[in-house]
Structure 1
Amino acid sequence: MIRIILTSLLALVFISCASKTEKLADTPISELDVKSLITLCEKNKNTLACTELGLKLVELENGNLEENVNKANTLWQSACEANEARACGLLGVSYINGQGVEKDSKKAFELWQKACENKDGFSCRNLALSYEVGQDIQKNQKLADEFYTKACEYGYHTSCYIVGLSYYKGQKGIKKDLTKAKEYFSKACEASNAEACNHLGLLYENGQGVTKDLKMAQEAYGKACVSNYAVACNNLANLYYKGEGGIKQDYELAKKLYTRACDEKEAKACVNLADFYYAWQRLPNERKEAKNLYQKACKLGDKQACTKAKNFK
């Protein structure tokens, strides 16, 4: 749910010379500050700037709430009428939540439909989610799948991961297809979706839907791990621990990665780190550390760790 808190900044008028306005027009909209967006929105009638202005203003935490909500919706309404798809999508959120307007699910869906038809991935995703969970509309998994696919196509990359997962598992009415899964995971991973990168790594590590390639798995896991996805850090550590497929064996790096993932409460990493200490124990404190790690993993829900902790000698 979008939290809408606007300020009375819209009442201000900013005057700038033509050269400054031209410079603003050459700058990516998302990088402009509120004052610059107001200039483009009010003076140049730039609908994308007006839309982004609404998003910038909702992050501010001062002003009259009721008045500001109305101003936000006015911005998006005007931009939507000018066929700014993103604005239609945001206005749809206001209608679905009854924010500054009377709650109207039908109107929200109409706005999302219009925006999705104009290639707004955010709105396609909202339609997909609504059809999947049956939010104010009859459940329809087939339509949900179609809209998730469109959302991915139009740049909402979280949806690429969702579609890829359906092909990976063969769920939600989609037949299992690991080649398709690889295609969608790749799209999402390119957009830095950590879960997608991890799943892409799994495909390459196990040769599922692709030729087995541990170097490619290493790259995918690494990208996900850099994004602090602990599961991927553990998978990457396994590659370094085994040292197969052209990957140089590196116990110290594996240990660091296991530690990092365990610190993020990834139970399997705690077990692997405990196994590492148990296998390479040289000092009494390392043996104690192994037991502590098994106990930690047990508390995190790993049954294998519970058994190891119980039988630890």
Structure 2
Amino acid sequence: MIKPIRAVSLVCLLGGSLLALSAGSAPARAQSADLVLCDRLAADPADPDKPADVKGVAEIAPGDVATAIKFCRTAAASSRRALYGLGRAYAANRQSNEAIAAYRKAADKGSSSAMVELGVLYATGAGVAKDDAAARKLFERAAEAGNPRGISNLAALSGGGGAPADPVRARALLAKAAESNAEAQYQLGMMLAEGQGGAKDDVGARSLFEKAAAQGHPAALERMGAFAQSGRGGPQDSTAAKDYYQKAAALGNDDAKAALKRAECPYVLKDKHGGVVSNLCF
């Protein structure tokens, strides 16, 4: 828990800049101290509502949770991104019901990030009854608003865990998000590699995997290893393939770990149906 004096000191440190902002900027740009502190402690780096000058935090520090709840709750009266930040703070404090309520209010006010969080909860059944239809509607709303996570989650969501329910639409939405989002690049690359929602395109898939891999996306790193190893969509390069696999494995990707194991033990033992039983090492 953060001591009250820390919260007060943050307000004091920011007080001068807030006054200058109010005096030197248009009224529409002025922000309350509560919102500034909410942003500092609980803003999501990927939230499209977040101002460019706000860095955000991937995870709210345990010692900042109580302070984040306090300031975000006050700022939430007039800011939907503060409502979303409040939901994040409640979630970090394991207050699931309060987090869901805050996400709902933020989503109702148009927060696409809150829509994504609610969609994930419905898709996984965490804190709410599992409901793929509700998840899909929320992801669709977020995707229509241009939220990259909404787009990639919509593309990934399907009744049986396979191809998207509407691959053509998913592919079009992903193409828009893939300009900058690593997950969207990976998802679109998979669709191009498998020919879902349009023509198969190994060269295009490899290019997308390469972009996502450069951002440290584990699954994209593994796919780049596989494509480089086989020469799919570009030059064959065993050295590069091993490097990609090692990077993916270091990030916990099981497929990459298995690929490295196969490289160490290239002799394959198969059953009578041709299925792989194990790799043999000598």
Aligned match for 2:72, one of 72, 76, 80: 76
Is 1:202–2:193 an aligned residue pair? no
Partner of 2:224: 236
1:226 Cα deviation after fit: 1.9
Residue by residue over 1:39-84, the C-alpha shift from the partner in whole angstroms, topping out at 9 and shown as x without a partner, is x7xxx5366424314427963848xxxxx82x543422332212x0
Partner of 1:164: 155
Partner of 1:225: 213
Structure 2 Cα separation of the partners of residues 104 and 273 of structure 1: 40
CA contact (8 A) 1:221 1:235 kept: yes
Q: TM-score, normalised by structure 2?
A: 0.67
Partner of 1:34: none
Amino acid across the alignment from 1:200: L
1:8 Cα deviation after fit: 2.4
Gaps of 5+ in 2: 43-55, 269-274
Structure 2 Cα separation of the partners of residues 92 and 268 of structure 1: 34
CA contact (8 A) 1:50 1:75 kept: yes
Q: What's the RMSD between the two structures over aligned residues?
A: 4.3
Q: TM-score, normalised by structure 1?
A: 0.61
Residue by residue over 1:120-161, the C-alpha shift from the partner in whole angstroms, topping out at 9 and shown as x without a partner, is 123213332343455554444322221122233445533322
Residue by residue over 1:225-269, the C-alpha shift from the partner in whole angstroms, topping out at 9 and shown as x without a partner, is 223334323322333344455x23334333433444455564544
Partner of 1:59: 61
Partner of 2:49: none
1:5 Cα deviation after fit: 4.3
1:69-218 correspondence to structure 2 within 5 Å: 69=66, 71-82=67-78, 84-92=79-87, 105=97, 109-135=100-126, 137-154=128-145, 156-166=147-157, 169-171=158-160, 176-194=165-183, 196-218=184-206
SS of the counterpart of 1:159? helix
Partner of 2:45: none
Judging changes above 3 Å, is the alpha-carbon distance between structure 1 residues 263 and 98 closer, same or farther for their aligned structure 2 residues?
A: closer
The structure whose Rg is larger is: 1
Q: Percent identity?
A: 19
SS of the counterpart of 1:228? coil
Amino acid across the alignment from 1:59: A
Structure 2 Cα separation of the partners of residues 140 and 204 of structure 1: 28
Structure 1 Cα separation of the partners of residues 262 and 148 of structure 2: 37
Judging changes above 3 Å, is the alpha-carbon distance between structure 1 residues 256 and 7 closer, same or farther for their aligned structure 2 residues?
A: same
Partner of 1:257: 244
1:222 Cα deviation after fit: 0.6
1:177 Cα deviation after fit: 2.5
CA contact (8 A) 1:233 1:260 kept: yes
* Aligned length in residues: 255
Partner of 1:35: none
Partner of 2:21: 21
Amino acid across the alignment from 1:118: K
Judging changes above 3 Å, is the alpha-carbon distance between structure 1 residues 294 and 267 closer, same or farther for their aligned structure 2 residues?
A: farther
Query: Which structure features the higher share of helix residues?
Result: 1
SS of the counterpart of 1:307? strand
